[in-house]
Amino acid sequence: MIDMNEAGAFPSLDPSGNFTVRIGLYLPGIRAVDGFSVVVRIIHTDDRFNPAVPTTDCPLHWVDGHPLDLWSITESIVAAPAPSHYGQEGTYLYRFQLLWAAPGSGAASQILALWFTDPFARATEIGELSAFTLARDPSLFEWSDANYKTPELDDLAVYELQVEEFNDTFDGVIDRLDYLQSLGINCLELMPVTSVKLDFDWGYGPLHYFAPNARLGGGDGLKRLVNACHAVNIAVILDVVYQHVDPTFPYKLVYDALNNQAGPPHVPSPMIGGDGLFGPQSDFSKPFTQDYFATANRMWLDDYHVDGFRYDEVTDFYFSATDTAYAKLSYDTYQHSLRIPRFGRDPASYSRIIQCAEDLSNPRDVLRNTYTCSVWQNELLGKAEDMVRWNYVDANFAHLLDTGFSGYPNSKTVNNAAGAPVDMPVAPFQYLESHDHSQLVVFAGTQGDGFFPPGDRSRFYKLQPYTIALYTLEGVPMLWQGQEFADNYHLPDSGSARVGLRRDTHWEFFYDKFGSPLVRLYRRLGQLRRTCSALRSRDSYFYYLQSLQGTAVIAYHRHAAATATTPEQFLMIFLNFADSAETITVPKSRHLERND
């Protein structure tokens, strides 16, 4: 069982007031008795580019009999002569080397892995470097969200963003919270925030799983963002990548290094299977893999107070309702969340943790058979793109706005904190744009030249009926950054440019003649969804006999039954996809009559 008090770096002051650091590393199957040795190389961050200051190299000790083959050391950080900063306060960088010599041969050790990072690092620096900080008076982050509660699933309105592209850092996102609230948003979905290589990418080649990206603001920056969001009742979920890893991930790199050389005993990786389309694949048949990702989820929930996860590429690691991969991970994470107060007011109820599985091939099955409350699926997005591209509308679009008609369950039986069965609401995320696709205005036409010309924003009005649909549909509405003012990036279908080029949000579009009217519409609709219970209900009706009868108009209503504190409510919605005014007549039921 992984113990987060063993793995990673733990700086402290000894009784004499000297700095020390304890470093632990799990390398299952790699043992000193077989000739292996491990060295940690440490340097103060101010010395890293000074050729006159070498790293301090310390051999780790193998803990004989440890079930996960723990290698560990407690090292005093003793002051070194100038120009070295070793022994002073500040950030220290560290990395490991793996060596081997045949036992009893007397031969010098050969380096098998020259450089690998800490798979349990809580902090990092640029590139593949783990980090820790020495301070005589370290400050602990003070949370102020004790009274915060995660919103109910039916009340969510989500905004997906990539931190660097949206506004540079975690603190930059804090600066935009008032703006996001004006759109009716009460949940942020952050694209991967764990540290990756120095190259810009979306974060879908993960290298560190326990360390928020240093260039985004590190651990304290993410805590500030979550705390600030909770202060205004906005939930935060993290996009996490567990299906595959970066090729330099230690449990890939290290085990490949020793298995591809003659001499050392071959040891299978405790985590990684074969190579897949997106990179080396995590093998969830291995207990260490299961434990590793469950441990990561617990850390994000406990230490960073996040409200849940969007799981990337679940299609490739969901196999059945009882598998040891996604089904087990979502179940274990749900059970852990039952102990966390923000996920429920009533211990007899379900946990409100948000677990959203990206499964583009079989989202309904995942929703029915796992402890997932939501799914990422491209059905509405794909239909909207096609309709905008070919300038048509049909009834299938209206059917996708009704999740029950589309075959999605409304609830699933789970357990409460007492172990008793209870129904938990479930629903798909519904969206018109996402990070994975060109923005919707692109499909209405492009401008300029080049390989990927941007969308023609003068056709922003084509987006208006889709915007109304997004805020009035069943399910959880989700926006992608900038769509609310017709941002117009054209995304390649394949290749490194999909993930390697920054698409900075065009905040200047917020003020111009195309973006400004669209933002106003989003804000009005956001207010409506927040205040009208009918728009957050599970009840809708499509006027299929009256819609699309010689017009490009779709009509439907949303309905919420009366409660002890709110009256019954109906809302009529009309979507006109034509470029001019259209007329439609719908029957006036006694229910609608009563609410006139």
Band of the pLDDT at 594, cuts 50, 70, 90?
Answer: very low
The contacts of residue 490 (CB under 8 Å, 6+ apart) are 438, 439, 442, 446, 452, 453, 454, 455
pTM score: 0.96
> What residue spans define the domains of the chain?
8-134, 155-243+283-536, 540-594
Q: Report the 10 Å Cβ neighbour count for 50.
A: 13
Residue 547's nearest CA partner among 585, 580, 578 is: 585
**C-alpha–C-alpha distance, residues 152 and 168, integer Å:** 30
Digit-coded pLDDT (tens) for 354-384: 999 999 999 999 999 999 999 999 999 999 9
Q: How many residues does the chain have?
A: 596
Give the whole-angstrom CA distance, residue 24 versus residue 38.
11
CATH 3.20.20.80 fits 155-243+283-536, yes or no: yes
| CA-based torsion, 586, 387, 528, 521: positive or negative | negative
pLDDT in tens, 27-55: 999 999 999 999 999 999 999 999 999 99
Neighbours of 215 (CB within 10 A): 18
Domain 8-134 part of CATH 3.30.70: no
Tens digit of pLDDT for each residue in 403-445?
999 999 999 999 999 999 999 999 999 999 999 999 999 999 9
The whole-number pLDDT of residue 595 equals 40
Decide: helix, strand or coil at residue 458: helix
From CA 16, how far away is CA 21, in angstroms rounded? 14
Q: Give the tens place of pLDDT for each residue, 112-161.
A: 999 999 999 999 987 789 999 999 998 899 999 999 999 999 999 999 99
pLDDT of 196 over the 90 cut = no
Cis peptide before 83 (omega within 30 of 0): yes
pLDDT score at 589? 62
Crossing angle for the helix pair 326-337 and 287-303, nearest 10 degrees?
Answer: 30
How many H-runs (helices) and E-runs (strands) does the chain carry? 14, 24
Q: Which pLDDT belongs to residue 190?
A: 98
Mean pLDDT to the nearest integer, 336-347: 92
User: DSSP per residue over 7-53, as a string?
Assistant: SEEEEEE-TTS-EEEEEEEE-TT--GGGTEEEEEEEEEGGGTT-TTS
Mean of pLDDT values over 329-334: 98
Does position 231 have pLDDT exceeding 90, yes or no?
Answer: yes
Instruction: Name the residue among 239, 270, 212 with its Cα closest to residue 67.
Output: 270
Segment among 210-219, 253-262, 498-507, 570-579 with least mean pLDDT: 498-507
Which are the contacts of 295, defined by CB distance < 8 A and separation ≥ 6?
Answer: 2, 4
Question: What pLDDT is recorded for position 596?
Answer: 36
